[in-house]
């Protein structure tokens, strides 16, 4: 278009140069209109071609952006799916971790229980037991401990060396693992070995220990340095199963430490106290023996104070936990809603909200019994349940309770609190309310004669009915079938005769002669 304008202007200028006298007359309105029309067409064509190119480019960009949008949307959907699956996997992993911890705990407990009748003997030369190790080690225990401890060779389930490779000549022999049939015998041998300290068998010094799992041994080994330090200080530390440190003071007082970090903290505190005592009391005029005796008395008091402090912390934690549980009734929406539904359910069916067998001490419905330790004294004196506050079916007076349970006269205000609670929660006060199903269940004494028969009566009735219907049928059962039906309800007998004999022998013994 620029070229066209330039050529047009040059033509017009050349005409004017050739005929300058007629320049103004030669340019008419029609020529200008024609010239402008040509310019308009040229500009329009130029714009049209430019816009067509732009349109083509924009169409390509639109398709590209649309493709990118689809891909981004697909990526977002995939990301959401991955997040959902990741959340599911995290929840599953958390559950598996909890289950793994629980299973490891149960496995450790089962392994410990499977070893509780085992003893480990260290120091016996290899191949000393010969081809019959069970009989040999049974007699060895009698030879080591004597007839005064073991009147006869103990019954052993099995005995063998540890499962390590057999050592070369001159190397340390493998330990012997012995499983005794009775735990009481094993406990007796362990106690006797600890009491004697040194044991010998045919000039061989041996040691006898309990057989612990590797995890328990690892936990107990962490206390080694702490126990050595306590032995130096003159205390008597002992490791209780699985790994709990007990410290016995010279006066017989005992304190328990449940972790290695706590033991280290205890020793650090003990060392600091010793340093403080020595730096304060060392005097050339005082003998070392007097300072040592004074230091032992001082440390004894410090350890007692430490134990009392730990008990105080434990009681505070327990009180805080009890307070938090009690606050759930007033703050937790879920607990409040559940309690409200339960109370409405009981009122609708006319059920008594509080049974007379409810405890007097630590009753969540009776707040003073939770925070006032005087009701613990009531429990120790024999007033355990609300039912015991009634005498001859009538709520007892304070004088009657004092005479019956030896209550203190200063507990009269507590009596008024209990009486007000019973009046508000039990209908027909002061008469004893009727017993509920809960009271009947809680009143059952399993040690009372006939209680087991009452519990087994429903199953006996069912079994008798089933056997009777079978005998009334067209094909009465055989004796073997009758024995099987009886054994179905006599599981202990089934286990006994299945292990020791066989069902065929049991049929033979139980069949009529």
Question: Please, which residues have CB within 8 angstroms of residue 378's CB and are 6 or more apart in sequence?
Answer: 360, 361, 405, 407, 411, 414
Q: 10 Å Cβ neighbour count for 361?
A: 19
DSSP letter string, 81-142: HHHHHHHHHHHHHHHHHHHHHHHHHHHHHHHHHHTTTEEEEESPPTT-STT-HHHHHHHHHH
Question: Closest Cα partner for 390 from 435, 434, 431?
Answer: 431
For residues 189 and 149, give the distance between their C-alpha atoms in angstroms, rounded to a whole number: 8
- How far the first Cα of the chain sits from its last, in Å, is 133
List beta partners, residue 359: 385
List beta partners, residue 394: 391, 431
* pTM listed for this prediction: 0.44
- Residue 383 corresponds to which tokens in the numbers above? 């007033």
DSSP letter string, 26-54: HS-HHHHHHHHHHHHHHHHHHHHHHHHHH
For residues 257 and 265, give the distance between their C-alpha atoms in angstroms, rounded to a whole number: 10
Are 418 and 389 in contact by the 8 Å Cβ rule? The answer is yes
For residues 202 and 215, give the distance between their C-alpha atoms in angstroms, rounded to a whole number: 34
What residue ranges do the domains of the chain occupy?
Answer: 116-211, 220-316, 352-442, 451-510
* Tens-digit pLDDT string for the chain (513 aa): 444 444 544 544 444 444 544 444 456 888 888 888 888 888 888 888 888 888 888 888 888 888 888 889 888 888 889 989 999 999 999 999 999 999 998 998 899 889 999 999 999 999 898 889 999 999 999 999 998 889 899 999 999 999 888 898 888 999 999 999 999 999 999 999 988 888 999 888 999 999 998 888 888 888 888 888 888 777 778 888 888 888 877 667 777 777 777 777 777 777 777 777 777 776 777 777 777 777 777 777 777 777 777 777 877 887 787 777 767 666 777 777 887 787 777 777 766 557 788 888 888 778 888 888 888 889 888 898 888 899 988 999 999 999 889 888 889 999 999 999 998 888 788 898 887 766 776 666 666 666 666 666 666 666 677 767 766 777 766 666 666 666 665 555 555 555 455 556 555 555 544
For residues 96 and 92, give the distance between their C-alpha atoms in angstroms, rounded to a whole number: 6
Residue with tokens 């009701």: 375
CATH number of 116-211: 3.30.70.1820
For residues 485 and 478, give the distance between their C-alpha atoms in angstroms, rounded to a whole number: 11
Q: Helix 479-488 crosses helix 491-500 at what angle (to 10 degrees)?
A: 120
For residues 145 and 150, give the distance between their C-alpha atoms in angstroms, rounded to a whole number: 7
Residue with tokens 């007359």: 25
Residue with tokens 């909200």: 353
Local structure of 149: helix, strand or coil: coil
Question: Please, which residues have CB within 8 angstroms of residue 158's CB and are 6 or more apart in sequence?
Answer: 134, 178, 179
- Residue 115 corresponds to which tokens in the numbers above? 């070893």
Superfamily assignment of 220-316 in CATH? L1 transposable element, C-terminal domain (3.30.250.20)
Local structure of 236: helix, strand or coil: strand
Are 360 and 389 in contact by the 8 Å Cβ rule? The answer is yes
Are 293 and 250 in contact by the 8 Å Cβ rule? The answer is no
Sign of the CA dihedral with 267 first, then 269, 275, and 277 last: negative
Are 181 and 162 in contact by the 8 Å Cβ rule? The answer is no
For residues 384 and 358, give the distance between their C-alpha atoms in angstroms, rounded to a whole number: 8
Please report, for residues 343, 395, 411, the alpha-carbon distance to residue 427 in angstroms, rounded to integers and kept in the order given: 16, 12, 25
């Amino acid at each position: 278009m620029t070229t066209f304008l330039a050529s047009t202007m040059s033509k017009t200028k050349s005409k004017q140069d050739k005929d300058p006298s007629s320049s103004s007359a030669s340019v008419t309105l029609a020529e200008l209109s024609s010239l402008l029309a040509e310019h308009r067409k040229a500009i329009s064509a130029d714009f049209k071609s430019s816009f067509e190119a732009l349109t083509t480019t924009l169409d390509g960009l639109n398709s590209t952006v649309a493709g990118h949008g689809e891909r981004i949307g697909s990526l977002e959907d995939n990301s959401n799916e991955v997040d959902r699956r990741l959340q599911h996997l995290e929840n599953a992993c958390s559950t598996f971790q909890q289950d793994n911890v629980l299973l490891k705990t149960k496995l450790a407990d089962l392994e410990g229980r499977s070893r509780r009748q085992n003893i480990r003997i260290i120091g016996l030369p290899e191949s000393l037991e010969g081809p019959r190790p069970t009989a040999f080690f049974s007699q060895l225990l009698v030879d080591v401990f004597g007839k005064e401890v073991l009147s006869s060779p103990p019954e052993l389930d099995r005995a063998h060396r540890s499962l390590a490779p057999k050592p070369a000549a001159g190397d340390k022999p493998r330990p012997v693992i012995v499983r005794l049939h009775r735990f009481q015998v094993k406990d007796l041998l362990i106690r006797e070995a600890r009491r004697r300290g040194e044991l010998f068998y045919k000039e061989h010094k041996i040691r006898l220990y309990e057989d612990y799992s590797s995890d328990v041994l690892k936990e107990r080994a962490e206390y080694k340095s702490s126990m050595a330090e306590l032995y130096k200080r003159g205390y008597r530390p002992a490791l209780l199963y699985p790994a709990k440190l007990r410290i016995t003071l010279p006066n017989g007082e005992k304190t328990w430490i449940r972790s290695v970090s706590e033991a280290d903290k205890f020793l650090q505190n003990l060392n600091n106290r010793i340093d403080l005592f020595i730096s304060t009391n060392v005097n050339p005029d005082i003998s070392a023996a007097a300072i040592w005796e004074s230091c032992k008395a001082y440390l004894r008091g410090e350890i007692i104070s430490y134990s009392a402090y730990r008990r105080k912390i434990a009681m505070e934690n327990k009180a805080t936990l009890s307070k938090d549980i009690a606050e759930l009734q007033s703050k937790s929406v879920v607990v409040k809603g559940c309690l409200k539904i339960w109370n409405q359910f009981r009122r609708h069916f006319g059920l008594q909200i509080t049974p007379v067998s409810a405890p007097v001490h630590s009753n969540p419905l009776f707040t003073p019994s939770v925070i006032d330790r005087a009701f613990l004294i009531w429990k120790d004196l024999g007033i355990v349940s609300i039912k015991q506050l009634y005498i001859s079916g009538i709520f007892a007076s304070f004088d009657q309770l004092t005479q019956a349970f030896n209550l203190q006269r200063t507990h009269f205000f507590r009596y008024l609190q209990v009486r007000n609670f019973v009046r508000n929660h039990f209908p027909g006060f002061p008469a004893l309310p009727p017993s509920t199903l809960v009271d009947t269940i809680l009143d059952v004494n399993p040690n009372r004669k006939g209680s087991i028969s009452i519990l087994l009566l429903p199953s006996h009735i069912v079994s008798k009915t089933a056997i009777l219907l079978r005998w009334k049928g067209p094909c009465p059962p055989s004796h073997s079938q009758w024995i099987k039906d009886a054994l179905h309800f006599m599981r202990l007998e089934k286990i006994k005769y299945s292990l020791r004999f066989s069902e065929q022998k049991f049929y033979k013994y139980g069949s009529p002669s």
